[in-house]
Amino acid sequence: MNILRLFLALLLLPALAWAKDLRTREQRLYAVKVRAAQWEVDRKELALQIRQGEYEELRDLYAEHIATSDQLNQALAAHQQAKLAYEQALLALEETRLDFLREATHIAIRHARVFRTADDRHEVEITLENASQVETAMAANPQQPRPRLEAQLALQDLVVSLRNPAGLLIAEPYQLTLPQLALGESQTLRFSLLEDCQSLVVSMQLPDGRAESSHIALRREALHGQPQITTPQSSREAELNTKVSYQLILERLAEDEAPFALIAEGLPAQIGVAFLDPATEAEVNQVPLGAQNIRQQLTLELQLPETLDAALLDRPLSFRVLALEPHVFQEFSQARRRTGGQASPPAGLAALQAGSAELELVLRGTGELEWWSETRIQEIEPGQSARFAVRLTNTGSLDLEGVALSTSLPAGWSAALYPDTLALLPAGEHLRTTLEVGAPAGVQGEYEFRLNAAGYAGKRRVEAGEKALGLRVEAPLGWRRGLALATAVLLLLGGAIAFSIRWHRR
């Protein structure tokens, strides 16, 4: 019976040994490679010892003049080749051990998020961890002490860069170097994105020359719950009675979705405000922003009135666009009604924690002059003069300075304007002037002349349209010519009466 138990134990011993071997397939394969490399080292060492013994023996024989120099040189060459083969075997063994350490080295990307900063920059934070498999390294190198393996699994001078799928660097700095990343240690790297993206490739250059890359999706987060509002052109110029528009981009990096109401704060009440969807031109008052709708483009359209307080013209008018949560919007609207619609101070806006953008509008007033006269054509005799009562009105929205009046006449005519200049003509005011035109002697017929006026609104010259006026010049009739004409008229009238009487008698 004892012999049978011993026989069964001998049969089951290999199976029990295999069952206790909990190493993975890769670990067992590595152990085989290490043993093969070690056997090669032992074999090369044995060959080196044999060649060394042969060389020493021939050297002694050569000293006794028994062996020739050729035999000694051949033995020396064989010894050197055996030594080189042994050193190569040692390098192969060390490379085999380092290969498994390289395979046990692993860099894990624990976190990757993108967010927008207060100064409107897209920032990316990548958290890397040295998650190398020390237990695997210990199982494959049981003869190595654990502290030594942990030190070998530490990484030095790890180079990290961010690229798009096409391989182009899309973040600044272009490269960041981690001087040291110990086993189990995590470090966070921060980059500034040069272009907006939802995914990117993290490229890592390891100290041993290997390169690793991981294509990852970025988690979008917001530093605050409010959206960011940006515009490609924050300052615009426009004239009264026109429309002006701003292109707005609303962006909110967050996992949840929330609606936001829009409002323009700081504009005069006479200016109409509308937020439009660029795709449909429909007016919108609320936009949902969040995980499903990270970015929204809108058009802010302002309808400018025909007239406005002159103090607001030709100077920068600052206002804000706010994106508020609905309940905050209601509170904000109630506060504005209590204050008579006045703009909120910056401190109040900061307390709201609203998404906002600072915009600027320069309202350009219009300068316009119009003529009016009681009569357009007068009749005079040669050598006489005519007087026209003319009114020049500033129908624009800007005060005009240095207003000057002039006229263009045919050669030989004379004209005078009273007054012909005015230092200031306010908007909506009139300038009444008298134009006296004199015709030279000896001219008859109808003549036309034109009035001109111009003033300045700042550095801009404003001209009135030309006003055309006319004169009919006729010489007076003499007494003889008048008597002959009257006699002819009487004769003609008498003949007509006589003819009429004769006709009735028939």
Handedness of CA 61, 63, 67, 73 (dihedral sign): positive
Task: Tell whether the model's pLDDT for residue 17 goes beyond 70.
Answer: no
Out of 82-91, 340-349, 460-469, least confident range: 340-349
pTM over the 0.75 mark: no
DSSP letter string over 402-459? EEEEEEE--TT-EEEEES-EEEEE-TT-EEEEEEEEEPPTT--EEEEEEEEEEEEETT
For residue 19, give both structure tokens: 């069952």
pLDDT at residue 16 in the model: 42
pLDDT at residue 100 in the model: 67
Banded pLDDT at 202 (limits 50, 70, 90): very high
Q: Which residues of 78-110 are buried (b: 16+ CB within 10 A; e: fewer)?
A: bbeebbebbeebeebbeebbeebbebbbebeee
pLDDT 10s digits, 261-309 = 888 888 888 899 999 998 888 998 888 887 677 788 999 999 998 878 8
Give the mean model confidence (pLDDT) for residues 104-115.
Answer: 84
Task: Tell whether the model's pLDDT for residue 480 goes beyond 50.
Answer: yes
Other C-beta atoms lying within 10 Å of the C-beta of residue 180: 12
Question: Which helix (DSSP H) or strand (DSSP E) does residue 137 occupy?
Answer: helix 134-140
pLDDT 10s digits, 408-458 = 888 778 888 888 888 998 888 989 998 888 888 777 888 888 889 999 887
Which of 270, 360, 350, 252 is closest to 308 using CA atoms? 270
Strands annotated E in 182-225: 186-193, 199-205, 211-217, 219-220
Give the mean model confidence (pLDDT) for residues 19-32.
Answer: 60
Task: Tell whether the model's pLDDT for residue 248 goes beyond 70.
Answer: yes
Q: Name the maximum alpha-carbon separation found in the chain.
A: 190
Task: Tell whether the model's pLDDT for residue 475 goes beyond 90.
Answer: no
pLDDT at residue 131 in the model: 87
Out of 317-321, 380-384, 498-502, least confident range: 498-502
Contacts of 77 (CB under 8 A, 6+ apart): none
pLDDT at residue 438 in the model: 85
pLDDT 10s digits, 321-343 = 988 888 788 777 777 776 665 55
Give the mean model confidence (pLDDT) for residues 180-190.
Answer: 90
**Across the chain, what does the average pLDDT equal?**
80
Tell me how far apart the alpha carbons of residues 17 and 14 are, in angstroms, rounded to a whole number.
5
Task: Tell whether the model's pLDDT for residue 2 goes beyond 60.
Answer: no
pLDDT at residue 414 in the model: 85
Tell me how far apart the alpha carbons of residues 174 and 176 are, in angstroms, rounded to a whole number.
7
pLDDT at residue 483 in the model: 62
pLDDT 10s digits, 386-422 = 888 899 999 887 888 899 998 888 877 888 888 888 8
Q: How far is CA 18 from the centre of its chain?
A: 65
pLDDT at residue 139 in the model: 65
| Cβ 178 vs Cβ 160: under 8 Å | yes
For residue 283, give both structure tokens: 């007016």
Question: Which helix (DSSP H) or strand (DSSP E) does residue 318 occupy?
Answer: strand 316-324
Contacts of 385 (CB under 8 A, 6+ apart): 414, 436, 437, 438, 439
Percent above pLDDT 90 for the chain: 12
Out of 211-225, 245-259, 312-326, least confident range: 211-225
Handedness of CA 7, 11, 13, 19 (dihedral sign): negative
DSSP letter string over 56-109? HHHHHHHHTT-S-HHHHHHHHHHHHHHHHHHHHHHHHHHHHHHHHHHHH--EEE
Contacts of 86 (CB under 8 A, 6+ apart): 41, 44, 45, 47, 48
Out of 211-215, 244-248, 256-260, least confident range: 256-260
Give the mean model confidence (pLDDT) for residues 128-136.
Answer: 83
| Cβ 411 vs Cβ 437: under 8 Å | no
Question: Which helix (DSSP H) or strand (DSSP E) does residue 317 occupy?
Answer: strand 316-324
Q: Which residues of 432-445 are buried (b: 16+ CB within 10 A; e: fewer)?
A: ebebebbbeeeeee
Helix (H, G, I), strand (E, B) or coil at 330: helix
pLDDT at residue 221 in the model: 66
Contacts of 153 (CB under 8 A, 6+ apart): 101, 104, 105, 130, 132, 134, 137, 183
Q: How far is CA 260 from the centre of its chain?
A: 22
Distances (CA, A) of 339 to 273, 328, 334, 335: 20, 17, 9, 6
Other C-beta atoms lying within 10 Å of the C-beta of residue 373: 15
Return the top range by mean pLDDT from 23-32, 149-158, 179-188: 179-188
Q: What are phi and psi of 249, to 5 degrees?
A: -125, 120
| Cβ 229 vs Cβ 249: under 8 Å | yes
Q: pLDDT: is 348 or 142 the higher one? A: 142
Give the mean model confidence (pLDDT) for residues 182-197.
Answer: 88
pLDDT at residue 15 in the model: 46
Task: Tell whether the model's pLDDT for residue 502 goes beyond 90.
Answer: no
| Cβ 99 vs Cβ 128: under 8 Å | no
* Burial (CB count within 10 angstroms: exposed 0-12, middle 13-18, buried 19+), residue 415: middle
Banded pLDDT at 127 (limits 50, 70, 90): very high
Return the top range by mean pLDDT from 12-26, 174-188, 201-215, 481-495: 174-188
| Cβ 219 vs Cβ 182: under 8 Å | no
Helices (H) and strands (E) counted in the chain, each on its own, are: 8, 28
pLDDT at residue 6 in the model: 46
Helix (H, G, I), strand (E, B) or coil at 33: helix
For residue 461, give both structure tokens: 């010259």
| Cβ 285 vs Cβ 275: under 8 Å | yes
Helix (H, G, I), strand (E, B) or coil at 482: helix
pLDDT at residue 187 in the model: 92
Tell me how far apart the alpha carbons of residues 431 and 423 are, in angstroms, rounded to a whole number.
11
